[in-house]
Structure 1
């Protein structure tokens, strides 16, 4: 008899399962479109040149040591990250009503923020877009939220945003509900509200007294423009919202395994800053005590050095431009083949992912017949599309929707 006899086998995490199946596959033309990580035109991982430069400088700095960071993290990093998100001239930054907490990447930032909202503010209900990044639900449930509800977002017919459905669902949300919002490059659809639509979303949320919790995983990576990708968060802060924003530096710095994140907090009352920080300190102390330093030092070094900062902006433009080019090439190939359906959404979407419109059966066909590994939702990572495989991917999609037209 074991204490663990009652433990049941948990379901696999789809994106990591697809990656394992891809790695175990010996098919010569296999393609990995599951994991959201940047790849070069040759399909290889890329360490940003500016990251290499920063790491070498930090390694040669003998004044640095391996002592614990403060519970709330490396201050030079959190200050720079918060200013990067909100802009240095934002009134919340100038008035010191905005501050950052270093967390374990975007996921850890979401978890710390969710724990605070549930334990300290007593929040019980959270809303997430339909569809959303699958981990949102797990993180908020594990943080103590009792109920997760969907708001409409994706319209399969138009392959675009269902803004009317979204606004209606937000109008019906109970006062005080926490609303998870993707600040840019919505995952998984790649479909974002326009600035005018963001204004309408803000109006409804202010009227209904809803709490915005932004997830910013792709600032700069999405469009190549840091300011454009942060416009929604900045707009809400300018409108007087108190808010949380989980920032991830996995994508825009390529620091996937360093787990560097920042939870930006915007308050309306300066007198509450120290109280909120004190409670976040206690939550983190009981969770993981304090964060790792290496990735945070890299980002701090780059963001606080004018020349390296400009080099980094060039790096993110390189990444975003390659993804845009792959979108164009994929759409061109599909249209040249005469693939059934309208494929304009491939280039209208933005960021790392494309919601192709393929359903579960079609996505399974892509994996089993063509060895193109993608999620059953039809989401593909555009980073996995390269000049050498884009024609093959397009032909696989063409065969799938042609042979399974009733499933389109």
Structure 2
């Protein structure tokens, strides 16, 4: 795997041609596997003999993974993404009430208000920049970051630093010493947020988790509390940021698809679902580990192997999505449902919120700026650092001609 990342789709197609499961070399010459095919990935994500807990990672248990390994946080952070069985259900139950369809729908007016303000900011940035503004920075980022931080009761003053640090954590090309420092600073910042909410509880999720931490029964340990906040902040904005960015890129490159929505022949929800399939905001997500030697789609995955979930590859698997799987088509109906938000026990808890934010953002953007287009050719856009996130670093657009 190239730690620097890049557009994954050509490599995915090449790998898929050789099979649905493939060996990979992770940073630091660590041997792993990737599950790429839609059917194989669906089976693997819900297999009872596949775990997320780091104790099942053989190389880590044997001391062969250094502290500065760029993917170590994915493997070791305490919380839902590294818990199994009863522990996973306990942690998920504590957080799930904030992300029910009803609770998310109650957020709609706030999401719409934030979006309207950001559109004004985007217009202002374009006016100051000869008609060009970075949509990722001025629109796609502050919406999900602001909403998740508001849900958690995080002071807005921390938002820029949280985004910077989470970017270093999810990048696979971060140098070891910098990765260690970023992880340490992020944990310290989250600990200070917990301390502030403990001293002055509010009507926010962090305060609720702290209260649960002190109760008998559904108890969160200190590291679990920090790990849960880390997960929700990173996953709660990085993925939706990429989703909105990728959807705008797709619509600008496929004006016929945009016209379908404008004319009422398709919906913004259709755009979001097709973007999730066609250009998943997460390309390869670490890690799952077979708890025994496991054969998936005819390929043996040895016990304790770190396995990447290849969401971007599965989204364009022709066996699941047809011979035109690499075509962006928001009217697509006769294909398997995408897996970009996961499958099985670890299905994305924030999926309803991500869908609300993305549909709201896209509809408001193209209603306000129907002629919005990229300010540079697609091939000139610089890709996201690393092979976990899948998007571009900046998205220069011209909101109005």
- Shorter-chain TM range is under 0.3
Could you state the TM-score of these two structures normalised by the residue count of structure 1? 0.27
Judging by fraction of residues, say which structure has more helix. 2
| TM norm structure 2 | 0.27
Bigger radius of gyration? 1
